Structure 1
Amino acid sequence: MAGLALSAASRALAGSCPGDYRMSRLIVISNRVSVPKAAGAAGAQGGLAVALNSALREHRGIWFGWSGQETQEFTGHLDMQRNDDVTTATIDLEPQDIDEYYNGYANRTLWPLFHFRIDLTEYNRDFGEGYERVNRRFADSVHPLIEPDDLVWVHDYHLLPLGSMLRAKGVNNRMGLFLHTPWPPTRLLVSLPFHEKLVTSMLEYDVIGFQTTEWLESFLHYVQKELGLKVNLDNSISYQGRRVVARAFPIGIDHAEFTEAAASEEAQEAHDRLKSSVRGRKLLIGVDRLDYSKGLGERFQSFGRFLTDHPAEAGAVVLLQIAPPSRGDVASYQQIREDLERKTGHINGAHADVAFVPIRYVNRGYPRAQLAGFYRAANIGLVTPLRDGMNLVAKEFVAAQDPEDPGVLILSQFAGAALQLTDALLVNPHSVEHVSEAIRRALDMPLAERQRRHAKLLASVRDFDVIHWRNAFVSALEGKGNNGGRNAEEQAASASVRAA
């Protein structure tokens, strides 16, 4: 009876009623839940938050996950709220859970491994036990919210085994997993203890989605080589008499929402303030979480190399790097912050004068409208991660530009977005010379070429936005059509050609 009561309460909060099954609800599950923010609220929501809020509004669903808060004793209590037409359900975790599951296995084991940083990957049995314990707690807590016709959509590396735990509790719903990070090559993944158990648990989902065909192919290679399973021509996997669909679903931004934000008064004020502050100098911008995967140290070195190679430009260009801190309890993140502060001081000390510093390094976030204004003010967008599942900053930069006088996107070839945004200046972020030369080329690029490149980039960002991503994944989850996979990237490439 308690489960029925909770289910009825969740249905009421989500805006549905008994017998109303015109559209399957979405039960979205992720590590953290982002309560939608009012327009102009401080801080910027990440790409995942914006994407899922958009999906949940249309599919009257529930977003379940960790509240971000601690409790001294786990009770499984659900805090359910409804904000901006999105229903959220959250639980608190014990300090040990946070240390072992989140700071430990998720961010000191899986995150570095999935970003090809085996040198930073830590293997600790307690981390693995905490990861399984919290996934079980998620399964126990969300299970009463799931109704027979619901679609269950699990997100990211924090919750890879959750689907198998829900199956063990009798959940027969269609369930999908979308991985926002890269998937590492088999030769790296096999260094993870119990890797077979982890991947086998993922095969309990009906649909497994990746950002790009590169990460998809790495996953399928592992499944064939290490598990000996059959991969069919459509990239589905035959497993225990079931068909598991594995495809690429490149995520996009909410183009309409971001374009509206970019046209706002708040964005214009941010644009004008930044433009005024650089006093006619050319502006380069980077916006990234403070994370070693983003290649910020290499980016700073590349900019320093540009200033050294082109001393006449030393007073004519400014790099604004916005890097909100994250995961401060993890030692590797403390080290990257210290390293960037040293590099900033060294480059500014070598190239600044009394009235000018070449690098503005800011450790805070900004609302999306202000970021849109900053992007529009920039002549160059520097998006140079060493490895990234997709990277929505690249797409936001493109969407914010003035088509009549657009800035130039410099994009890492190792970002998932590079497979769609082929008209950016693609660079190897490990090569300071390559990035430095791209900065020179971007600054010298004629207006006609900037306009031509931007038109192609914008076509991809506009046509393959978060709505397209959502529809493709949900359609696959419902068992309809053949959305995603290579088709999505081929369509994006075709859109770029048409825009030309």
Structure 2
Amino acid sequence: MGRLIVVSNRVNPPTGRGDESVGGLAMALAAALREYSGLWFGWSGRTAEEADGPPTISCADGVTTAVVDLDEQDFDEYYNGYANKTLWPLFHYRLDLTAYDRSYGAGYERVNRRFAATLRPLIEPDDLIWVHDYHLIPLARELRRLDVTNRIGFFLHIPWPAHQLFVTLPGHRLLVQAMFDYDLVGFQTPDYLQAFEEYVLSEAAGERLAGDRLRAFGRTVRTGAFPIGIDAKEFGELLTGRRATHTRDVMAASTVFKKLIVGVERLDYSKGLEERFLGFERFLADNPDMRREVLMLQIAPVSRESVDAYQEIRARLDALSGRINGEYADIDWNPVRYVNKNYRRDELAGIYRAAQVGLVTPLRDGMNLVAKEYVAAQDPDDPGVLILSRFAGAADQLRDALLINPNSPEEIADALKRALSMDRSERIRRWRALNENVQREDVAAWRDAYVAALMDVAPRETALAS
């Protein structure tokens, strides 16, 4: 194999020192590139009046990056528009928030063409190209039009929606057809893979072939489920650092005689934050004897502030947290601490370690690495309890968590009571099973399984002739 070229919407490589506040995708991709020499290509995160020049190439902490800026129109139509107002809500089962606008689709196609044209001169004959997530579904098609015959893989980090939902997308058939210009299409779970297959078989007159392959649109693509993990070893090492230890101690001191419930995620309607607050409110109402024993910390950094749906959920959460504190607080205690800021990864490790309950309640989630980080951060002799939505991809692997339906405040409240009352022996038993999975199916296992599967695909010339 030659180099590994990773392509994602945003290029934001972490330093590996725990001093950043990047998401799980960035951590996973950086880990992949440190193992396989190569290049990380994508958007810089900046906008500029003139954004059609060559990429800016740099190298730091063992990762070489090539980034381009977007102009304001591309940012509005491709990123805020088609990616975050059309595909994101649709793929997370929120038809009520999905915006269908022809200009958004045009911007999406335009930026993918530009990414392909800018990336093309950087590709060498033996390179593997690994494209990530819903922003870049048409990229392989555009690269093939530029005579790229390298193996190209695609991995979707978010859910693939049910057939009945996906067909509500104008141009849905063309989007799926573009996926057949990849050699390998990967999903987080078998359920998402099955939903994709159902669409191909029913809407595209496709057929399922041996060797995990699908054929449609005159092409054959290999498919698979590749559940992403965390760098469990690296995350465990963060716990021994000065800042993680200090943060854990601060949290322990500020919650003395209290049991800490923690939730950490980007402020997003898919994460079930409103449902989480309502479930905690129900717990307080149903368990007056336990009220002053608990404190819920919700960390929710603000994101996509220019999208109306995100402004609206922030306002609703502000009101809901205020209502709960207004109803149940006392002069020396507030039941909810709601914080809209980013924290460093080593600080989060300390917070997880101090928490008796990790509360992860997405309404729909591709995987959810917060759940795995919470498990990795626990004290083996006195671990906390993970409460996890059954609609997170991680629920397929983390079956020893307390699995709940996040749409039910009663289920959340009951799970909180059970978790807070659970004896140490059961907590240890459950944690050991969870941690075994987190350590075994880590980011390296995900990376190596996907790259091996992509390398196993026949070269493009052979695939086209078959």
Instruction: Answer whether contact 2:180 2:220 (CA < 8 A) is retained.
Output: no
Residue in 1 that maps onto 2:323: 346
Residue in 2 that maps onto 1:258: 235
Deviations 1:227-249 (A, max 9, x none): 00111244311246643111100
Alignment TM-score, normalising by the size of structure 1: 0.90
Residue in 2 that maps onto 1:447: 424
Residue in 2 that maps onto 1:464: 441
Report the secondary structure of 2:21's partner residue. coil
Instruction: Answer whether contact 1:230 1:237 (CA < 8 A) is retained.
Output: yes
Residues 1:134 and 2:127 aligned together = no
Report the secondary structure of 2:159's partner residue. coil
Instruction: Answer whether contact 2:260 2:357 (CA < 8 A) is retained.
Output: yes
Residue in 1 that maps onto 2:346: 369
Deviations 1:326-368 (A, max 9, x none): 1001000000100000000000000001111000001011111
Report the secondary structure of 1:375's partner residue. helix
Residue in 1 that maps onto 2:8: 30
Query: Paired residue for 2:262, among 285, 292, 309?
Result: 285
Residue in 2 that maps onto 1:432: 409
Q: Distance in 2 between matches of 1:362 and 1:200?
A: 43
Residue in 2 that maps onto 1:158: 135
Instruction: Answer whether contact 2:132 2:154 (CA < 8 A) is retained.
Output: yes
Query: How much does 1:207 deviate?
Result: 0.3
Q: Distance in 2 between matches of 1:452 and 1:318?
A: 25
Instruction: Answer whether contact 2:258 2:294 (CA < 8 A) is retained.
Output: yes
Q: Distance in 1 between matches of 2:384 and 2:64?
A: 38
Report the secondary structure of 1:66's partner residue. strand
Residue in 1 that maps onto 2:173: 196
Q: Distance in 2 between matches of 1:36 and 1:444?
A: 38
In structure 2, stretches of 5+ residues that fail to align are 459-466
Instruction: Answer whether contact 1:101 1:130 (CA < 8 A) is retained.
Output: yes
Deviations 1:447-475 (A, max 9, x none): 10000000000000000000000000000
Q: Distance in 2 between matches of 1:234 and 1:40?
A: 40
Residue in 1 that maps onto 2:463: none
Runs of 4+ in 1 over 6 A off after TM superposition: none
Q: Distance in 1 between matches of 2:91 and 2:218?
A: 29
Instruction: Answer whether contact 1:24 1:59 (CA < 8 A) is retained.
Output: no
Query: Paired residue for 1:400, among 377, 387, 397?
Result: 377
Q: Distance in 2 between matches of 1:60 and 1:190?
A: 39
Q: Distance in 2 between matches of 1:451 and 1:32?
A: 38
Alignment TM-score, normalising by the size of structure 2: 0.97
Instruction: Answer whether contact 2:133 2:154 (CA < 8 A) is retained.
Output: yes
Report the secondary structure of 1:170's partner residue. coil
Q: Distance in 2 between matches of 1:29 and 1:359?
A: 39
Query: What amino acid does structure 1 have at the position aligned with 2:17?
Result: A
Query: What amino acid does structure 2 have at the position aligned with 1:340?
Result: L
Q: Distance in 1 between matches of 2:273 and 2:59?
A: 37
Q: Distance in 2 between matches of 1:333 and 1:441?
A: 32
Query: What amino acid does structure 1 have at the position aligned with 2:406?
Result: P
Residues 1:67 and 2:44 aligned together = yes
Q: Distance in 1 between matches of 2:18 and 2:380?
A: 25
Query: What amino acid does structure 2 have at the position aligned with 1:72?
Result: E
Q: Distance in 2 between matches of 1:159 and 1:419?
A: 26
Residues 1:275 and 2:252 aligned together = yes
In structure 1, stretches of 5+ residues that fail to align are 1-22, 482-500
Query: How much does 1:300 deviate?
Result: 0.3
Q: Distance in 2 between matches of 1:40 and 1:229?
A: 46
Residue in 2 that maps onto 1:486: none
Query: How much does 1:53 deviate?
Result: 0.6
Residues 1:417 and 2:394 aligned together = yes
Residue in 1 that maps onto 2:93: 116
- Over the matched positions of the two proteins, sequence identity in percent amounts to 56
Query: Paired residue for 2:272, among 286, 295, 302?
Result: 295
Q: Distance in 2 between matches of 1:450 and 1:40?
A: 28
Matches within 5 A, 1:199-278: 199-239=176-216, 242-278=219-255
Give the direction of change, closer, same or farther, for the CA distance of 1:241–1:331 in structure 2 (3 Å limit): closer
RMSD: 1.2
Number of residue equivalences:
458
Instruction: Answer whether contact 1:294 1:385 (CA < 8 A) is retained.
Output: yes
